[in-house]
A and B are shown apart, each in its own frame.
Chain A
């Protein structure tokens, strides 16, 4: 049962343009969402998060949007840079099914390639 889904395995974008990565979730008990970036042979690096009391959070070039009614979140990167090329994971947390907030449920990841 995939409770967090990233339906696009890959995304290719030109440098300077906007990258939009999407994520859908099914469990309405999730109330905290995060985006991580991961390079090969390294651990995930935290990028940005959003609580369900908000619908937008911005940090520099990164903005996360949350649509609770659609159970959908997206990460916008503007402008995209070649160094942004990595695998991006969305993750969700909440008091879901009796488990703790400590449990992050991850999507499968989207490979972002930014071309110079």
Chain B
């Protein structure tokens, strides 16, 4: 998983607080994807971004969740007013071009725990 950097690795928040998860893609990759893995489940797609653009947000909850990938700096997944059900592992992936014939490469994730 070298290359895609996610931080923090572990994040603890109390209900009602905000969580910010950061992802730096592999060098040369301009496509970023966020996934969530709930306990005992597979990964679920959340959002696909290119620099300064959201390409597909069909998996994002309608409220409290937002994502950005600015021209400079890492991609950010932001969760406002966190609730217990937001506890999960959040994975970021990147690819050089759109992930059709290019595989997505994943970071090691951020484990979010809500107290």
Contacts and interface: CB of A to CB of B under 8 A. Distances in A.
Contacts of A99: 56, 58
Contacts, number: 74
B22 to A, nearest CB: 15
A100 B106 contact: no
Residue with the highest number of chain A CB atoms closer than 10 Å, among B1, B43, B48, B101? B43
Interface string B34-62: 01000001111100100000011011000
A66 to B, nearest CB: 15
Contact of B42 (A34, A46, A102, A106): A106
Interface in A56-115: 89, 91, 93, 99-109
Interface of A: 4, 32, 34, 36, 41-46, 49, 51, 89, 91, 93, 99-109
Contact of A42 (B1, B31, B43, B99): B1
B48 A46 contact: no
Interface string B1-44: 10010100000000000000000000000010101000001111
